[in-house]
Amino acid sequence: MSLENLGWDNYFQDKFKSYLEKGFEAGRVVNQHKGNYIVYSEKGNFSGKLSGKFMHNADVKKDYPTVGDWVVIKNINDKEVVIHDILPRKSYFSRKLSISGGRKVKNGVLVGGYIEEQIIGSNIDIAFIVIGADDNFNVQRIERYITLVRSSKILPVILLNKCDLCNDISEYIENIKAASHDIDIHAISILDKINLNVFNEYLCLGKTLVFLGSSGVGKSSIINYLFGDDMQRTNSVSDSNKKGKHTTTSPRLFLHQSGCMLIDTPGIRELQLWADEDILKESFKDVYSLTEKCKYRDCTHKKEPGCAIKMAIDSGELPIKRFESYISQLKELKSLKESKNAYYSNRKNNKKI
Ligand SMILES: Nc1nc2c(ncn2[C@@H]2O[C@H](COP(=O)(O)OP(=O)(O)O)[C@@H](O)[C@H]2O)c(=O)[nH]1
Ligand SMILES: [Mg+2]
Ligand SMILES: [Zn+2]
């Protein structure tokens, strides 16, 4: 297995230079569970543990290796490696993890308590936001995933799965389009094998793709389909049920025969955003550009004269639900900013993140 097949490129080569001189090797984390890592390198698959120095310096969750990370390793034997460092992440996405301690829901936003940034995956090129064309369909959730992916500088692509369940998908597509604008949308059905050749254009050598979405939308079914009978051979550490199919308990990276890597994630029950509010200029470009047309710079879009938002809602140009999503995410991200300040200042050694 060459490093290029695992997604290695000039960026990582450059970051790795000083380690190479010291005799270290590079590997990619494909799975982790309670301090045990599975690492792929040119020499094969290894079980990895963190070095003592690494653990001493690590402070918050974000400092620890995550699925997709390139790590600096040394072999101890033909099965085990020690992980000494993480190469800087090219991209990663995280969610806010609320750790108990006085947290409560205020105006629909979780506030208070101790928070942490939890990285779900790193060094990713494309994120598939998977949605089911069924009762679980929820535009607000799609809007949250879009903000999350956009703020990670990863290319979002929307997959509307389970199209076999409805006769007319145009309404679904329209609702998604109003929330996603220029993002590519593909309607598919894994069950009835509809439109599954869309994957061909995304499965490219060295690229890392992640599947996101609520539990039950079909992420693992898509991965099972893409691997066909190769699943067992391709990833011997995969969780499997009795039928030999893979199920998901934690994010996990799989090597696909096309030379790309796929990360399956378990459904995120509580998708709390971790992003800067500026990202809404991208994920809510339509709403944001309207706010710039309001007569007053500090318009609250409630009853000011010359409010472009109000006019757009009245004329039907801007769905009120879309505006409400924008306001709710803005509120959430502003409140996150305050908690983040406390989070950063509490860090051991005041390390820079
Ligand atoms: N009707 C229909 N059901 C599907 C389709 N794809 C997946 N499912 C079903 O949806 C359920 C959840 O699928 P799974 O892949 O485990 O979802 P995940 O939680 O997102 O990984 C399973 O019972 C699948 O058989 C589809 O295209 N159409
Ligand atoms: Mg799954
Ligand atoms: Zn206004």
- The answer to whether 106 touches 72, Cβ cutoff 8 Å, is no
Separation between Cα atoms, residue 115 and residue 284, nearest integer Å: 25
How far away, in angstroms, is 274 Cα from ligand 3 center? 26
- Taking the centre of ligand 1 as the mean of its atom positions, its distance from the CA of residue 169, in whole angstroms, is 17
Going by alpha carbons, the residue nearest to atom 1 of ligand 1 is 162
State the average pLDDT over residues 132-140. 91
Distance 313 CA to ligand 3 centre (A): 11
Give 100-132 pLDDT, tens digit per residue. Answer: 555 566 655 555 566 777 888 999 999 999 999
State the closest ligand 1 atom to the C-alpha of 211, by its place in the atom list counted from 1.
Answer: 20
Q: The tokens of 151 are what?
A: 């703020």
Q: Which band of pLDDT confidence, cut at 50, 70 and 90, is reported for residue 202? A: very high
- C-alpha angle 183-8-273 in degrees, rounded to nearest 5: 40
Length of the chain: 353
Residue from 128, 167, 192, 221 to probe ligand 1 pocket by mutation (most atoms less than 8 Å from CB): 221
pLDDT range class, residue 233, cuts 50, 70, 90: very low
CA of 8 to the centre of ligand 2 (A): 27
3-state secondary structure of 290: helix
Which residues are CB-contacts of 259 (< 8 A; sequence separation ≥ 6)?
Answer: 5, 203, 204, 205, 206
Q: Which helix (H) or strand (E) holds 142?
A: helix 139-150
- Ligand 1, atom nearest to 134 Cα: 1
**Ranges of CATH 1.10.40.50 domains, the chain:** 277-350
- Which ligand has the shortest distance to the CA of 213? 1
In the predicted model, is pLDDT for residue 257 greater than 90?
no
Q: Which chain residues have CB less than 5 Å from ligand 3, an ion? A: 294, 299, 301, 307, 309
Q: Where, residue-wise, is CATH 3.40.50.300 in the chain?
A: 121-264
How far is CA 273 from each of CA 97, 101, 171, 191, rounded to the nearest angstrom? 9, 19, 27, 32
Instruction: For domain 277-350, give the CATH number.
Output: 1.10.40.50
Give φ, ψ of 76 to 5 degrees. Answer: -100, -35
Q: Say which residue the tokens 């301090």 belong to.
A: 35
The residue whose CA has the least distance to atom 11 of ligand 1 is 216
* C-alpha to C-alpha distance for 218 and 146, rounded to whole angstroms: 18
- Rounded to the nearest whole angstrom, what is the distance from the C-alpha of residue 217 to the centroid of ligand 1? 6
Q: Ligand 3 centroid to 295 CA: how many Å?
A: 7
Residue nearest to atom 12 of ligand 1 (CA): 216
Helix (H) or strand (E) holding 312: helix 308-315
Q: Which ligand 1 atom sits nearest the alpha carbon of residue 267?
A: 19
The pLDDT, as a whole number, for residue 171 is: 93
Atom of ligand 1 lying closest to residue 217 CA = 20
Is the pLDDT assigned to residue 250 strictly greater than 80? Answer: no
Q: What is the mean pLDDT of the chain?
A: 86
Highest average pLDDT, of 115-124, 258-267, 299-308, comes from 299-308
Give Cα 325 to chain centroid, integer Å: 20
Which ligand neighbours the alpha carbon of 162 most closely? 1
**pLDDT grade for 352, boundaries at 50, 70 and 90:** very low
Q: Which atom of ligand 1 is nearest to the CA of 224?
A: 15
Of all ligands present, the nearest one to the C-alpha of 312 is 3
Could you write out the DSSP letters of every residue in 150-185?
Answer: HTTT-EEEEEEE-GGG-S--HHHHHHHHHHHTTSEE
**Virtual torsion, Cα 68, 70, 73, 78, nearest 10 deg:** 50
CA distance 338 to 345: 11
Query: How far apart are alpha carbons 337 and 96 in whole angstroms?
Result: 11
Q: Does domain 4-86 have CATH number 3.40.50.12280?
A: no
The CATH number that domain 121-264 falls under is 3.40.50.300
pLDDT of residue 238: 43
* First-to-last C-alpha distance (Å) of the chain: 32
Q: Over range 68-94, report the average pLDDT.
A: 95
Amino acid at 64: Y
* Calpha distance 1→318 (Å, rounded): 51
192 CA closest ligand 1 atom index: 27
How many angstroms separate the alpha carbon of residue 223 from the centre of ligand 2? 9
Rounded to the nearest angstrom, the distance between the alpha carbon of 221 and the centre of ligand 2 is 7
2 band by pLDDT with thresholds 50, 70 and 90: confident
What pLDDT band is residue 135 in, cutting at 50, 70 and 90? confident
What integer pLDDT is reported at residue 85 of this predicted model?
A: 97
Q: In the prediction, which pLDDT does 236 show?
A: 38
Cβ–Cβ < 8 Å for 241, 247: yes
Query: Using a 6 Å CB cutoff, which residues line ligand 1?
Result: 161-162, 164-165, 189-191, 213, 215-221, 248, 267
Instruction: Judge contact between 207 and 7, C-beta under 8 A.
Output: yes
Mean pLDDT of 54-78: 92
Domain with CATH 2.40.50.140 in the chain: 4-86
